[in-house]
Amino acid sequence: MSRLPSAPPARGTLRCATRCLCTLGCAAILALVVACTTWQAPADLSTAELRERAQTATRHQVRVSAAVLSAEDRQRMLGVELDKTRVQPVWVEVQNQTADPLLLLRPGTDPDYFSPLEVAWSMHGIFAPAANARINAHLDQLGFKNPVLPGETKAGVLFINPERVTRLLNIDLLQRKTLIPFSLFLRVPDDAGEKWFAEGLFQHHGSEIKDYDDLAALRSALERLPCCATDANGKAPGDPINAILVGEFADIAAAFVRRGYRRAANPADAAERLFGRMPDAVVRKRSQAGAPATWVRVWNTPMRFEGQSVYLAQVARPTGGRFAPRDSQNLVLHADVDEARNLLIQDMMYSAGLDKLGFVTGVGPASQAHSRTTFSGAHYFSDGLRAVMFFATRPLSLSQVKLLDWEPYLDRRDSPAQKEVDDARK
């Protein structure tokens, strides 16, 4: 029996619904206008709570303290609640006990930082020129001001792109003849995050740690490591382990941040297992309009080299690169994993944190004609080499990067990596 079409709503009902929607919309706009028109500069700019939870570091007679503003801090100090998904205000204090002035280089903290007046504009109301001028003046006063003169202590707010759970804050202070870099790990208030995402790097017990003191022994150990990750059962092979990172975690993290990598994980990352566990950290390089780009999955190992940590990494890109669906949670591994590895090498060369570079075997070669298949159904081919990158405290120039005499991959004139690295060093 076919269903009869329902009768259209009465014209009066439609008019009533339209009037209600218009009334609600006008009320919301009116409330916004009134709020912006009546905005006044906050009276409470106390930083006592920020100082209590701030992280502090001292180098070369310079002390830096920093803390991420909480929702309560933002409301109290800005007079409005910023959209925290777009802007993350961070309070920074610099104490200069040197004989030279210091300049805080904002692009070192975030290449896509927001200026105070840019943030102020987002708070503006319509038909409220007087209030908008007050907002401009307040945020301009709140922002961190250069320079920091000898003997001076200066504090202010940096407006940067948001990070979840833990914020790695790079502070680069330019002196007359040198750069004084800091890397601080800040807790992000009001953000517990997913359990796996918030847990941080796996820590090995002291009895498990093996410290190598010469490069030959380290190379031999790296070549014996697993070729790839596995599925949760530890049986089916996953993506290849095609990079190794050696150095202090802060130096490695700072290099990645300087090249636009940010912590970001999705369910596909958690499916990869190494040493019986999910990745300790996952970072992705931002790309235009937020489209998917290179990802790096990292596992801490019980290995050390001259006391510094050794991390295994999967470096890859999705099929389609930046043209892949932006919101997809099931990105397919791009088959040319060596390309992603080589692009990461170039990125790290420009990060000013790369000290040494070498290649070791361990993945095993696979041609395009005889590609390997992962447990997710993806296919990849590879020359079978891993890039081993050693990091140091920035800044380092391209000419300071030492190429280790390990696998002679860069000596092959027909090698794509040779051309890419040569191009990067020009």
What is the tens place of the pLDDT at every residue in 179-206?
999 999 999 998 765 544 445 578 888 8
Q: How far apart are CA 52 and CA 387, in angstroms?
A: 42
Q: How far apart are CA 173 and CA 354, in angstroms?
A: 20
Contact between 283 and 295 under an 8 Å Cβ cutoff? The reply is yes
So what's the architecture of 48-187 in CATH?
Sandwich (2.60)
Main-chain phi, psi angles of 296, to 5 degrees = -130, 115
pLDDT at 34: 46
Q: Is residue 139 pLDDT above 80, yes or no? A: yes
Q: Is residue 20 pLDDT above 60, yes or no? A: no
Domain boundaries, the chain: 48-187, 195-425
State the average pLDDT over residues 91-114. Answer: 95
State the average pLDDT over residues 134-143. Answer: 95
What is the tens place of the pLDDT at every residue in 34-70?
445 678 888 878 899 999 999 999 999 999 999 999 9
What is the tens place of the pLDDT at every residue in 278-288?
999 999 987 66
CA distances from 408 to 227, 360, 361 (A): 20, 9, 11
Residue 16 or residue 409, greater confidence: 409
State the average pLDDT over residues 416-423. Answer: 50
CA atoms within 13 A on the CB side of 382: 30
Contacts of 259 (CB under 8 A, 6+ apart): 285, 347, 348, 350, 351
State the average pLDDT over residues 70-88. Answer: 86
pLDDT at 258: 87
pLDDT at 198: 44
- Average pLDDT, rounded, for the chain: 85
- Predicted TM-score (pTM) of the model is 0.77
pLDDT at 32: 44
State the average pLDDT over residues 156-175. Answer: 92
Q: Is residue 128 pLDDT above 50, yes or no? A: yes
Tokens standing for residue 358: 């070498």
Main-chain phi, psi angles of 321, to 5 degrees = 55, -130
Using 50, 70 and 90 to split pLDDT, how confident is the model at 417? very low
